[in-house]
């Protein structure tokens, strides 16, 4: 911010430095304002403050243009702020892997051959995570182009592993056996089982109902109101899914109310953890993974019958189409619902 030359901040200071006089008229605090960042306190000694700014600028120039630098800039962008917390968490985890191998490189030197080697050789043992890391790299290239430190997207032309989308819905027999087994386990594992049952009945994403509260369940009109998590564009955060309470869903809610009454606590959340707070995504997935491992070890289900929690959304879509003859309204783009979540193997139609 420009200041007139008769101000103390204009006397011998470097660009982006600021001098803030105290009321005593003698003491001055110095600060540095990095572009796009928060002010950095430099203390009250002018010469020390100037040396510190020179060091900061030297470090910034040395790192400017590296993938690490672009990642830092990206986290301050509007695009980053517009992502859901779950996606940001996935990208932070992905960055830890990327940083160890590519973080020090100048982004302009990373071409499609480097990305392909990273995705298909360096990360060959973790194909699903590699595809998420490739998606983050694509976003970083896009942001790097905006910052003027690269001219192309190095992920273009690099095929993903493509192993993230299953072709089959969870087996109904295996699902029933797994949920029945969870119901006989500890109280918290029973709640995890009821969360899985809810996902299979309602088709919501995990992030949409981890903090589901009892006021969202309208008994007068027999509906559940849940905000859609990944709606894009102007409707982001404003689309509310109104889910009909069917007899099966009513039975599940009755069991959850019984859990609430048994705890003797007026808990706000429908699926509380042991502290009567909502599960975080990480804590829930940790417990879900342990439950599956124990169920396989107990031979409740076979290893090949294992499915991801998100596959319950596909289970809901598949059964919905099979029983009601149409796909549910799950996604802003109906084509995505059909391509990703509909896993029916038989499609009935009438002849002419």
Q: In terms of domains, do 303 and 186 share one?
A: yes
Distance CA 105, CA 56 (A): 20
Residue 346 lies in a domain: no
How many other C-beta atoms can be found within 10 angstroms of the C-beta atom of residue 179?
A: 16
Residue 72 lies in a domain: yes
pTM, whole model, 2 decimals?
0.67
Total count of domains within the chain? 3
Q: Which domain holds residue 116?
A: 67-147
Check pLDDT > 50 for residue 6.
no
Residue 163 lies in a domain: no
Residue 204 lies in a domain: yes
Mean pLDDT score, 59-82: 83
Q: In terms of domains, do 202 and 298 share one?
A: yes
Q: In terms of domains, do 30 and 139 share one?
A: no
Q: Which of 205, 66, 67 lies closest to 136, judged by CA? A: 67
Q: What percent of the chain has pLDDT above 70?
A: 90
Listed in sequence order, the residues at least 6 apart from 82 whose beta carbon sits closer than 8 Å to its beta carbon are 236
Q: In terms of domains, do 89 and 211 share one?
A: no
Q: In terms of domains, do 293 and 184 share one?
A: yes
Q: In terms of domains, do 205 and 272 share one?
A: yes
Q: In terms of domains, do 13 and 49 share one?
A: yes
Q: Who has greater pLDDT, 261 or 167?
A: 261
Q: Which of 27, 336, 36, 44 lies closest to 205, judged by CA? A: 336
Residue 15, classified by CB atoms within 10 Å of its CB into exposed (0-12), middle (13-18) or buried (19+), is exposed
Q: In terms of domains, do 111 and 13 share one?
A: no
Q: What percent of the chain has pLDDT above 90?
A: 49
Predicted local distance difference test score (pLDDT) of residue 7:
47
The CATH number that applies at residue 326 is: 1.10.443.10
Q: In terms of domains, do 181 and 271 share one?
A: yes
CB 134 within 8 A of CB 119: yes
Listed in sequence order, the residues at least 6 apart from 350 whose beta carbon sits closer than 8 Å to its beta carbon are none
Tens-digit pLDDT profile for residues 167-200:
678 889 999 999 999 999 999 999 999 999 999 9
Residue 31 lies in a domain: yes
Check pLDDT > 60 for residue 15.
yes
């Amino acid at each position: 911010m420009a200041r007139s030359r008769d101000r103390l901040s204009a006397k011998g200071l470097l660009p982006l430095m600021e001098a803030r006089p105290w009321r005593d008229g003698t003491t001055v605090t110095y600060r540095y304002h990095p572009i796009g960042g928060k002010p950095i306190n430099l203390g009250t000694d002018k010469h020390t403050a100037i040396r510190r700014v020179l060091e900061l600028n030297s470090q910034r120039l040395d790192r400017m243009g590296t993938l690490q630098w672009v990642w830092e800039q990206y986290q301050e962008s509007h695009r980053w702020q517009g992502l859901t917390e779950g996606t940001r968490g996935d990208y932070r985890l992905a960055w830890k892997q990327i940083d160890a191998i590519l973080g020090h490189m100048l982004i302009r030197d990373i071409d499609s051959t480097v990305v392909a080697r990273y995705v298909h050789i360096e990360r060959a043992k973790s194909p699903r995570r590699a595809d998420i890391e490739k998606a983050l790299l694509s976003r970083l290239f896009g942001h790097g182009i905006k910052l003027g430190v690269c001219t192309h997207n190095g992920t273009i032309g690099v095929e993903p592993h493509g192993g993230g989308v299953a072709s089959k819905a969870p087996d109904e027999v295996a699902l029933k056996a797994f949920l029945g087994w969870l119901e006989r386990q500890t109280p918290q594992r029973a709640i995890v089982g009821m969360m899985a049952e809810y996902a299979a009945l309602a088709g919501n994403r995990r992030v949409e109902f981890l903090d589901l509260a009892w006021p969202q369940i309208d008994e007068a009109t027999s509906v559940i109101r849940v905000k859609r998590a990944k709606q894009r564009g102007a409707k982001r955060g404003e689309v509310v899914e109104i889910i009909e309470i069917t007899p099966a869903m009513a039975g599940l809610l009755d069991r959850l109310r019984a859990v609430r009454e048994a705890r003797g606590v007026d808990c706000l959340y429908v699926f509380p953890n042991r502290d009567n707070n909502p599960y975080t995504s990480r804590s829930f997935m940790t417990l879900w993974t342990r439950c599956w491992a124990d169920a396989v070890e107990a031979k409740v289900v076979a290893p090949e019958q294992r499915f991801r929690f998100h596959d319950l959304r596909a289970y809901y879509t598949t059964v919905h189409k099979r029983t009601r003859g149409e796909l549910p309204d799950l996604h802003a783009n109906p084509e995505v619902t059909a391509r990703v979540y509909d896993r029916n193997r038989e499609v009935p139609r009438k002849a002419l």
